Chains A and B, each alone.
Chain A
């Protein structure tokens, strides 16, 4: 009865029929299929813990640090929720990078999945903006200088830079106005945008099904049912993730640091979050002047251009299979991975 009533209005049976028909190819690269779902799961963790933090957080230069202090010292399980929010953010960026590189190397972005890739790259940038804006919210020293440097980096982009800088900071300097803005981006603008792109991204994956790597195309690839076989495997991963998050939050609670002070020097040994470390380390190495240009302007513009190149990957690697092009793409991918890894390690140990 109820089923019929719902079906007539919501076509539930069509949806469940689709879910029942969904299959996942089984082959030696199948493990990489889990990282998209894992990223999505960690995003859900972010939404839930983020809403919880909103119950106590106060977004102003006078109150922000104290309110986070209150959360981690006074609120019951506040330390846990806040730590999980920070750890989950970091793990989400890690799984997102794994997802990105696995899709790249398995060439799952090829026709007809170009727009799935493009929406994914947009989500990558949204997630980075989430990380950057959320980092400022505790209003501690590290966050203060990270935001000063980060927004100044946006400011060195030619022509539009200064306008962007003032828009981000809510003025010429990083102040309480910046905090209020970043809070607005972090809890309203970015979640709304992310939801839209996430919906498109996931919908496109349903539309096209899972991609089988071109190298396995001529082999006979067996399939497993998404429901329940693959979903149950996903579930195990998510339960493991909850365990890892709880363990990390309990053993390595996220530090709060010292309250930001606009009249104190940057603390020695200051470093950005690990996912910005390779760019940070590059900026350290660049000399003041390169070919008459400010070194950091050149470096930042290069990173911007490389980031934009991500969008066109599926359109450059299009058309019929070509072994030479495939080799070039693999080399570029490996070099990028090596560069990020080496610079990150140097950034950590120095």
Chain B
């Protein structure tokens, strides 16, 4: 009797206990490894993603002086961190748009010969309402409001 007790306990309790203890340790080891890896990889991924820069909130800007822009010409101006384009049409009307081409992000220019706004990168054309009329651009240019204040041309977001 004395001999059989440890034997039977070893058979019935011992091995499964050892096995479940091993499984538990494996589990601890595995999760620790994953957690460690996560603690290393997560900051690296976050580090690679550039922080959001606060966009300038200015909603209007002095784009040019009236005498700087003759009839049938265009001028690039800074609107916050983005370029805008100011156009004075043949009839002397002032128009302003975002100068960022809606196709692939190039900066557009005014073409006096065709009286259109043109993107040199992939030959995109916009008319003087900012509408994409030829070439690959998929959308019109964003239009801004133009006001004159004395001899200053003030452009503001619509």
Task: A170-B50, A296-B136 are known; give 8 further A-B pairs, CB within 8 A.
Answer: A145-B121, A151-B105, A265-B109, A269-B120, A284-B122, A284-B136, A288-B136, A296-B138
> Considering the chains assembled together, what is the distance between the CA atoms of A92 and B82 in angstroms?
37
What is the interface size of chain B, counting residues whose CB is below 8 A from a CB of the partner? 28
Question: Is the beta-carbon distance between A296 and B78 smaller than 8 angstroms?
Answer: no
> Considering the chains assembled together, what is the distance between the CA atoms of A294 and B103 in angstroms?
9
Question: Is the beta-carbon distance between A153 and B132 smaller than 8 angstroms?
Answer: no
> Considering the chains assembled together, what is the distance between the CA atoms of A173 and B55 in angstroms?
12
Q: How distant is A266 from chain B, measured CB to nearest CB, in Å?
A: 4
Question: Is the beta-carbon distance between A295 and B136 smaller than 8 angstroms?
Answer: yes
What are 16 pairs between A and B in contact, CB < 8 Å? A145-B121, A166-B50, A169-B50, A171-B50, A262-B107, A263-B76, A265-B109, A265-B120, A266-B108, A268-B120, A283-B122, A288-B137, A294-B138, A296-B103, A296-B136, A296-B138
> Considering the chains assembled together, what is the distance between the CA atoms of A269 and B123 in angstroms?
9
Q: How distant is B82 from chain A, measured CB to nearest CB, in Å?
A: 8
Residue among A149, A171, A172, A265 having the largest count of chain B Cβ atoms under 10 Å: A265
Q: Mark A160-176, 1 if CB is under 8 A from B, else 0.
A: 00010011011111000
Q: What residues on B are CB-neighbors of A172 within 8 Å?
A: 53
A319 proximal to B (CB < 8 A): no
Q: Mark B91-123, 1 if CB is under 8 A from A, else 0.
A: 000000001000111111100000000011111
Q: What residues on B are CB-neighbors of A289 within 8 Å?
A: 138
Q: Known: A171-B50, A266-B120, A270-B120. Is A145-B138 also a contact (CB below 8 A)? A: no
Question: Is the beta-carbon distance between A286 and B136 smaller than 8 angstroms?
Answer: yes
A158 proximal to B (CB < 8 A): no
Q: What residues on B are CB-neighbors of A263 within 8 Å?
A: 76-78, 83, 107
Q: What residues on A are CB-neighbors of B76 within 8 Å?
A: 263-265
Question: Is the beta-carbon distance between A270 and B121 smaller than 8 angstroms?
Answer: yes
A148 proximal to B (CB < 8 A): yes
Residue among B104, B135, B138 having the largest count of chain A Cβ atoms under 10 Å: B104
Q: How distant is A320 from chain B, measured CB to nearest CB, in Å?
A: 45
Question: Is the beta-carbon distance between A149 and B123 smaller than 8 angstroms?
Answer: no
Question: A-B pairs with the 3 shortest C-beta distances?
Answer: A265-B109, A152-B105, A266-B120
Which single member of A163, A265, A296 contacts B104 (CB below 8 Å)?
A: A296
Summarize B's interface: helix, strand, loop or mixed: loop
Q: What residues on A are CB-neighbors of B81 within 8 Å?
A: 173
Q: How distant is A313 from chain B, measured CB to nearest CB, in Å?
A: 30
B39 proximal to A (CB < 8 A): no
Question: Is the beta-carbon distance between B49 and A167 smaller than 8 angstroms?
Answer: yes
> Considering the chains assembled together, what is the distance between the CA atoms of A192 and B83 in angstroms?
38
Interface size class on chain A is 20 to 34
> Considering the chains assembled together, what is the distance between the CA atoms of A151 and B104 in angstroms?
9
> Considering the chains assembled together, what is the distance between the CA atoms of A22 and B106 in angstroms?
53
Question: Is the beta-carbon distance between A166 and B83 smaller than 8 angstroms?
Answer: no
Nearest chain A residue, comparing its CB with the CB of B51? A171
Nearest chain B residue, comparing its CB with the CB of A280? B122
- Contacting A at CB under 8 A, from B105-158, are 105-109, 119-123, 132, 135-138
B1 proximal to A (CB < 8 A): no
> Considering the chains assembled together, what is the distance between the CA atoms of A292 and B82 in angstroms?
29
Q: What residues on A are CB-neighbors of B109 within 8 Å?
A: 265-266
Question: Is the beta-carbon distance between B105 and A265 smaller than 8 angstroms?
Answer: no
A256 proximal to B (CB < 8 A): no
- Contacting A at CB under 8 A, from B11-30, are none
A122 proximal to B (CB < 8 A): no
Question: Is the beta-carbon distance between A149 and B121 smaller than 8 angstroms?
Answer: yes
Q: What residues on A are CB-neighbors of B106 within 8 Å?
A: 145, 148-149, 266
A128 proximal to B (CB < 8 A): no
Residue among B83, B103, B121 having the largest count of chain A Cβ atoms under 10 Å: B121
Q: How distant is B35 from chain A, measured CB to nearest CB, in Å?
A: 25
Q: How distant is B101 from chain A, measured CB to nearest CB, in Å?
A: 8
> Considering the chains assembled together, what is the distance between the CA atoms of A294 and B122 in angstroms?
15
Q: How distant is B104 from chain A, measured CB to nearest CB, in Å?
A: 4
> Considering the chains assembled together, what is the distance between the CA atoms of A288 and B123 in angstroms?
12
B48 proximal to A (CB < 8 A): yes
Q: What residues on B are CB-neighbors of A284 within 8 Å?
A: 122-123, 135-136
Question: Is the beta-carbon distance between A266 and B104 smaller than 8 angstroms?
Answer: no
Question: Is the beta-carbon distance between A265 and B99 smaller than 8 angstroms?
Answer: yes
> Considering the chains assembled together, what is the distance between the CA atoms of A167 and B4 in angstroms?
69
Q: How distant is B118 from chain A, measured CB to nearest CB, in Å?
A: 8
> Considering the chains assembled together, what is the distance between the CA atoms of A151 and B105 in angstroms?
9
Q: How distant is B87 from chain A, measured CB to nearest CB, in Å?
A: 12
Question: Is the beta-carbon distance between A287 and B121 smaller than 8 angstroms?
Answer: no
Question: Is the beta-carbon distance between B107 and A288 smaller than 8 angstroms?
Answer: no
